[in-house]
Structure 1
Amino acid sequence: MRKFAKISAVLAAMVLALAFVGCKDDDDDNDQSVVTTWCTESNSSKFYFYDDGSVKFELDVETYSGSYSGDTTKDGTIKVFATVEGSSHTFTLEITDGKLYFEGYEYIKK
C-alpha cells in the first residue's frame, strides 16, 4: 500500500509540473503574417503587406506604417493610408503584369 501511495504522489507531482508548463501565455500581440513583400531591384525600398490589413514600407532610409485596401497578390490598385511627418496621406499603388509601381519606381515580388 505504501508503494502505491509513493507512486501516486510522484505521478501527481509530474502532472502538476506539466500542467503549469502548459499554461504559458502564448498570446502574441504581433499575430500578423506577411501576405506579400515587394522591393525595388536595389532593395533600397520595400513594401510589406500583412494579412491584418496593415502595411510597413521602407523608402530609402525612412520607415512608415499604415493600412491598405486591395489585393496585393494580383493585378489592380492598392490604396495605402499612412501618416507621414504628422500628416495623413493616401497613396495609390498599381500592380500590372506582376510588378508593383509607385511614384515612378518598379517593385518586384519577393
Structure 2
Amino acid sequence: MAQGAFDSPQFFLLSGIGPEDELRRHGIPVARALPGVGQNPQDHLDYTISHPSLRRDTVGVNPHGLLRLAKAGLHWRKAGEGFFASPMAEGGAPFCSPPPISYGLICTSIS
C-alpha cells in the first residue's frame, strides 16, 4: 500500500511501519518493524521525446478515439488480436549508470 510518489515513507512511518527505534522515539506504536522504510529515497524523473504520427489506426481520448477504442475492445474480445493484443510499452532497457541517477529507455505507443 502506498499513496504515490510523494510522502509514501511518511505515510508508512505514521502508520507504524518502519525502523522500530525511530517509531518509538516519536511515540508511534510499532505495527511492523522494517528498518529500510524512509531510507534511501530516490526521485524518478521522466523526460519524454514524442513524435507525431500520421497513422490513423491509433486511438485517443476524444469522441472519435473513444469509438475506435470501444471497437478495438470488442475486436480483441472476439478475435484476441488488434490494438489490445499488444501492451502499450513494447519494450524497455535499463542502462548501467552510477547512483543516484538511473537511466532507462521505454518504447511506447500512445495517442
TM range (shorter): under 0.3
Structure whose CA Rg is larger: 1
Which protein has the bigger helix share?
Answer: 2
- Pick the structure with more strand per residue: 1
Q: TM-score w.r.t. structure 2 length?
A: 0.16
TM-score by length of 1: 0.16
